[in-house]
Structure 1
Amino acid sequence: MTTPISLSFRTRPDGAVVLSAAGEVDMSNCAELAAAADRALGLGPGPLVVDLSAVEYLDSAGLNELLVRANRIEIVAPALLGPVLTICGLTELTTVHGLEPPRDGLDGARP
């Protein structure tokens, strides 16, 4: 049984192609993510922006598809995915946006 995933493309005003994923990425649907990423990589000259903001679960099969394309993508991810993206090394191989903790205006100082 395939886990539902929603994939869509858009082009930003700067010309960058964005592939947005929503739902869960796992072994049953990672080939869909890979095919969409490869198709999107052919649409623009720059790196592909993979927006995982609406992804609630990402397993090792999905991580592998991101890892093999790490030199051609940038990632936007929710904080929820931060630990797994860091542990697998993606944060060292490509730019990952969205993992920074929110700033409270106090430069990290806590009361």
Structure 2
Amino acid sequence: MNTPLGLATGRQADGAPVLTVTGEIDMSNADEFRTAIADAAVDGHRLTVDLTGVEYLDSAALAALFAHVDGLSVVANPLLASVLTISGLSRLTTVTILD
């Protein structure tokens, strides 16, 4: 059974938006994820997508990130490090892996 997708928006101290994601992102909820990215990416600030609470993501989730790669940075857990690197995302935007 999939872990439900959780999406929460917030702001950093400087006003930059943060989208915090939990659970699993796959083709069943990738459109919701893509919409959340688009909705959170406002005010001319770079969006931080916090994936530290994500247990799994598939190619549909990667496609959502690539669609907005110019305006975001990613924070992720070590579990996602290889897929974010192999996909090439880490060459196009800042990807920070937290322990």
TM-score range, shorter chain: over 0.9
In structure 2, stretches of 5+ residues that fail to align are: none
| Deviation of the 1:15 alpha carbon | 1.1
- Name the structure 2 match of 1:5: 5
Runs of 4+ in 1 over 6 A off after TM superposition: none
In structure 1, stretches of 5+ residues that fail to align are: 103-111
Tell whether 2:23 aligns with 1:29.
no
Question: What SS does structure 1 have at the residue aligned with 2:23?
Answer: strand
User: What does the per-residue CA deviation read over 1:20-49, in whole Å, with 9 as the maximum and x for residues that have no partner?
Assistant: 00000000000011111100012x321100
Q: Which one has a larger percent strand, Structure 1 or Structure 2?
A: 2
CA distance in 2, matches of 1:16, 1:9: 11
| Deviation of the 1:3 alpha carbon | 6.1
Instruction: Give the percent of matched residue pairs that are identical in Structure 1 and Structure 2.
Output: 46
- Name the structure 1 match of 2:17: 17
Q: Which structure is richer in relative contact order (CA contacts within 8 A, separation 6 or more)?
A: 2
CA distance in 2, matches of 1:8, 1:71: 21
Question: What SS does structure 1 have at the residue aligned with 2:13?
Answer: coil
Name which one, 1 or 2, has greater alpha-carbon Rg. Answer: 1
TM-score, structure 2 as length reference = 0.93
Tell whether 2:46 aligns with 1:55.
no
Length, aligned pairs only: 98
CA distance in 1, matches of 2:46, 2:12: 12
CA distance in 2, matches of 1:13, 1:80: 28
CA distance in 1, matches of 2:71, 2:3: 26
